[in-house]
Amino acid sequence: MSSQVSSWLVPWVYAVGRYLVLPIYFRKVEVIGQEWLPPSGPIILAPTHRSRWDALMLPFATGRKVTGRDLRFMVTQDEVKGLQGWFIRRLGGFAIDTRRPGVASLRHGIELLQRGEMMVIFPEGNIFRERSVQPLKAGFARLALQATAQDDLEVKVVPIGLTYSHRLVPWRSTVQIRIGQPLSVQTYRTGQPKQDAKALTADLNQSLQNLLTDSCRSLNLSQP
């Protein structure tokens, strides 16, 4: 299992997205809470997943132009196929079978965090059009706790709520990206892995729901 950040492709793709695609397609892209992004250390960005546009929104709000860091996306196996898969692998993404997570992919995720990388995991798993948080997958919490157990890493989980003004994201939509206060994974380690994972998942769920509620209120949108 390996992944890489192409030195020529990543700057080109994200520059096109930031300065051409997003300004043309969207009426407004608003980012709130960038001050919560840790300047260094291992980070798991945990955003809601509402559209394929999220793959450009996250680098726009948190990537190298903001933090000087590249994002390492954990994606499902189904995404890493054909031309799309070629791009994903060279943009730093790597695949995991969410139904039967392999040891190699989980170990690779932990290795990235040990190197102090910024990793993206969509804890809901799939794309959902609802404006409320959907049940979170337990795998993200287990990975975060396992990574923290390695050499007592100070892993931070950063909740991010993405809210689009229209569920199907037509041309000239508005999007609000809210970044919440990081959760320190170390504080959830009590020596009881299942309970620790449940507690971390529950707190992330509440943080994400608060972010979405604030965005819906700001954009005058109904929930769910």
Q: How high does pLDDT run on average in the chain?
A: 92
Q: For the segment 133-148, what is each residue's pLDDT rounded down to a tens digit?
A: 999 998 889 899 999 9
> What's the average model confidence in pLDDT over 75-101?
80
Query: Which one-letter amino acid corresponds to residue 146?
Result: Q
Q: What is the pLDDT of residue 104?
A: 65
Q: For the segment 200-218, what is each residue's pLDDT rounded down to a tens digit?
A: 999 999 999 999 999 999 9
DSSP string, 30-88: EEE-GGGS-SSS-EEEEE----TTHHHHHHHHHSHHHHS--EEEEEEGGGSSHHHHHHH
Q: What is the pLDDT of residue 62?
A: 98
Q: Look at residue 83 and tell me whether its pLDDT is greater than 90.
A: no
pLDDT category at 98 given cuts 50, 70, 90 is: low
Measured between alpha carbons, how far is 185 from 174 in angstroms, rounded to an integer?
33
pLDDT category at 102 given cuts 50, 70, 90 is: low
Return the percentage of the chain with pLDDT > 90, whole number.
Answer: 75
Q: Look at residue 3 and tell me whether its pLDDT is greater than 80.
A: no
> What's the average model confidence in pLDDT over 79-104?
78
b/e code 17-56 from CB counts within 10 Å (16+ = b) = bbeeebeebbeebebbbeeebeeeebbbbbbbbbbebbbb
Measured between alpha carbons, how far is 164 from 63 in angstroms, rounded to an integer?
20
Q: What is the pLDDT of residue 186?
A: 95
Q: Look at residue 47 and tell me whether its pLDDT is greater than 80.
A: yes
Q: Look at residue 94 and tell me whether its pLDDT is greater than 60.
A: yes
pLDDT category at 75 given cuts 50, 70, 90 is: confident
The CATH number, out of the four listed (3.30.930.10, 3.40.50.1400, 3.40.1130.10, 3.40.50.150), of the domain defined by the range 9-217: 3.40.1130.10
**Bigger pLDDT: 118 vs 88:** 118
> What's the average model confidence in pLDDT over 74-78?
84
